[in-house]
Amino acid sequence: MNVLPKRYHRIKQVLEKRQPDLTVLTEDVHKPHNLSAIIRTCDAVGILDVHSINETDEFPTFSQVSQGSDKWIFLHTHPDIKTAISYLKSQNFSIYAAHFTEKSLDYRHIDYTQPTAILLGAEKWGVTEDAAELVDGHIIIPMLGMVQSLNVSVAAAVILFEAQRQRLAKKMYDTCRLNSDRYHEILFEWSYPNLATAYQNKGEKYPSLGENGQIIQENS
Ligand code: SAM
């Protein structure tokens, strides 16, 4: 059955605002509700890919907190923080650790319109020393109260909405930022998730879609 035109156009609208050069890397954020809240914020800001490492081997399952947003985000897991950071660097990302050190800059002083990854640390012990040394800089959200840190998902939201503000000002949401191949691939997968799996299993290319999302060409 074809996707409903209304849903298809909504998917297109969302995909056309996704920012492939803005991402988050979580280092052992292990509480499912925190990870889910981060993913939900990423969806709202227009992030498509989230990177994660989890030394416990078990990836936290999503809770109701995500409100289904995990369906619209690609979660990439890496075996360890070094691998994750070198992968992001190879993709031209500057990586900023949300981390408390003497050299931390106010998070508003970063140019998030450049390819940027935000590293967020674990609930209890924060960003590891290894990771802190490998990144391009440290950022901090000024804390003026009695408590020394924010919940990790709150910190993510504060920083990511500053990134969104800067990108809106630069009109980076006004034209589609995904390359055409990835755009069409994801458009099909989000419109026809079950069919997409069937095509993948057969090793076949996805068919083309018509103006309202109807499948117009079956591959032989
Ligand atoms: N005791 C930990 C520490 O010293 O880093 C606190 C960890 S905090 C609850 C979890 C993560 O949230 C941190 O690693 C950091 O990435 C982020 N975070 C929380 N508050 C922040 C703030 N004010 N500025 C920057 N990042 C913050």
- Determine the pLDDT at residue 69: 72
- Which residue intervals of the chain bear CATH 3.40.1280.10? 19-169
- Cα distance between residue 50 and residue 44, in whole Å: 13
State the fold for domain 19-169: Alpha/beta knot (3.40.1280)
Residue 102, pLDDT score: 94
For 170, phi and psi rounded to 5 degrees? -90, 10
- pLDDT tens-digit profile of 39-78? 999 999 999 999 999 766 566 666 666 667 778 999 999 9
pLDDT in the model for residue 1: 84
Per-residue pLDDT in tens (0 to 9) along the chain, 220 residues = 899 999 999 999 999 999 999 999 999 998 999 999 999 999 999 999 999 997 665 666 666 666 677 789 999 999 999 999 999 999 999 999 999 999 999 999 999 999 999 999 999 999 999 999 999 999 999 999 999 999 999 999 999 999 999 999 999 999 999 999 999 999 999 999 999 999 999 999 999 999 999 998 654 4
Pocket test for ligand 1, best of 130, 150, 162 (most atoms within 8 A of CB): 150
Q: How many whole angstroms from 48 Cα to the centroid of ligand 1?
A: 23
Is ligand 1 within 6 A of the CB of residue 25? no
Residue nearest to atom 4 of ligand 1 (CA): 126
Provide the H-helix boundaries in the chain. Answer: 5-15, 32-45, 81-90, 129-134, 152-169, 180-191, 193-202
The reply to whether ligand 1 has any atom less than 6 angstroms from the CB of 120 is yes
* Model pTM above 0.85: yes
* Residue 208 neighbours by CB distance under 10 Å: 13
Closest CA relative to residue 213, chosen from 15, 64, 38: 15
